[in-house]
Amino acid sequence: MARDEASGAAAGAGPAPGEPLLEIRDLVKHFPLTRGVLFKKQIGAVKAVDGVSFDLRKGETLGIVGESGCGKSTVAKLLVGLERPTAGQIRYRGEDITRLSGRAMKAVRRNIQMVFQDPYTSLNPRMTVGDIVGEPYEIHPEVAPKGDRRRKVQELLDVVGLNPEYINRYPHQFSGGQRQRIGIARGLALRPEIIVADEPVSALDVSVQAQVVNLLEQLQDEFDLSYVFIAHDLSVVRHISDRIAVMYLGRLAEIGTEEQIYDHPTHPYTQALLSAVPVPDPDSRASRDRILLTGDVPSPASPPSGCRFRTRCWKARDLCAEVVPPLEVPPPFRESTGPARHPSACHFAHERQVVRDEDRLPDGEDGADGEERLPGGEDGEERLPDGPEPGPVAHR
């Protein structure tokens, strides 16, 4: 299904080639810590997001990775307007949407949709699939006339690989993978330009993860979508992303292309993350270079001064406690033309190959076009059985 004319009119003129569709500048979100019941007094703040900046271009997938609690999901909620930022800008097509409200914000939300992490709690158990997927049409009736909504919902179910006849079923009658497909169909209903996917496969078992990731890639080509893809699984992020941002304790540690981040990391935290990727070969596992971090992740309510990672970093010096390292190309690589030349927030950035070619997890065999594909079908359109999938769904 092609993007309808009404959606194109709402979006306005597209960005020029090479210009960002979404620009995030110095984004901050602090949650206040209060004391008292009747007379509340703020005694501090949880600095969930503290100065994040990045761009998202049309048709691009930006992956965001990091430990639990680093602020990834908060960034996702800020992008779709579920949370209001404490400071910073979110510019969509050049307009700062953090200042919008009412009808103006409603129009923007139509073009920036979200796929939630948990397919079990993100669907209303009292609503049928037809009501869930068709609910966006109730909020934006100009997209689909009332008499045409059932047909559009059935078309969306077919697009995501579900039987259109399931329109009158309830969420409890579906498996985990099928429920996530329903969530994706709901996100596609208004023909958005950007989809923020907050760990869309983390609650699914491996085989179903592959089907959902392949489906997202297929839909990106079909609907010309841009993704912000948040996940813990580094192999999944590498498979689907064009660029990758690594977050630690509310800030970006490093950002670059898939090759730059995975094969030529320069930030110690990125290197430590990659060294924890499982290796299928026992011989390689015994001889590989592991980086074991000491200590716990500091509290976002009281983060360290200077570099946030310095309390667990083996390269930490006095400078790291005194000066916040900027997210920029480190001085040693500014004259280079190689893949190590990418932004990294470290005073002592150094290239280190952690994941060797022979250590990588087999994500799947190469397709006929030379592109790597996850197992689970050639194009992610596989039909799932009418009943629930056999066996329990494994939670990560």
Domain ranges in the chain? 5-12+20-34+45-245, 263-359
pLDDT of 305-317, one tens digit each? 999 999 999 999 9
Provide the pLDDT for residue 357.
58
What's the pLDDT band for 203 if we cut at 50, 70, 90? confident
Of the segments 56-65, 196-205, 353-362, 366-375, which one has the largest average pLDDT value? 56-65
DSSP string of 42-58, one letter each residue: EEEEEEEEEEEEEEEET
Close Cβ partners of 31 (under 8 Å, ≥ 6 residues apart): 45, 46, 48
Close Cβ partners of 302 (under 8 Å, ≥ 6 residues apart): 44
Q: Which helix (H) or strand (E) holds 41?
A: strand 41-57
At position 230, the amino acid (one-letter code) is I
- The length of the chain, given as a count of residues: 396
Neighbours of 188 (CB within 10 A): 23
Is 287 a residue whose pLDDT tops 80?
no
What integer is the mean pLDDT of 1-8? Answer: 42
pLDDT of 78-105, one tens digit each? 999 999 999 999 999 999 999 888 889 9
Provide the pLDDT for residue 31.
96
As a whole number of angstroms, the longest Cα–Cα distance in the chain is 67
pTM score, two decimals?
A: 0.83
Provide the pLDDT for residue 265.
95
> What is the sign of the dihedral through the CA atoms of 323, 327, 328 and 329?
positive
> Rounded mean pLDDT of the chain?
85
Is 179 a residue whose pLDDT tops 80?
yes
Q: Looking up tokens 């592991």, which residue turns up?
A: 290
DSSP string of 171-227, one letter each residue: GGGS-HHHHHHHHHHHHHTT--SEEEEESTTTTS-HHHHHHHHHHHHHHHHHHT-EE
Q: Which CATH number fits domain 5-12+20-34+45-245: 3.20.20.10, 3.40.1190.20, 1.10.3720.10, 3.40.50.300?
A: 3.40.50.300
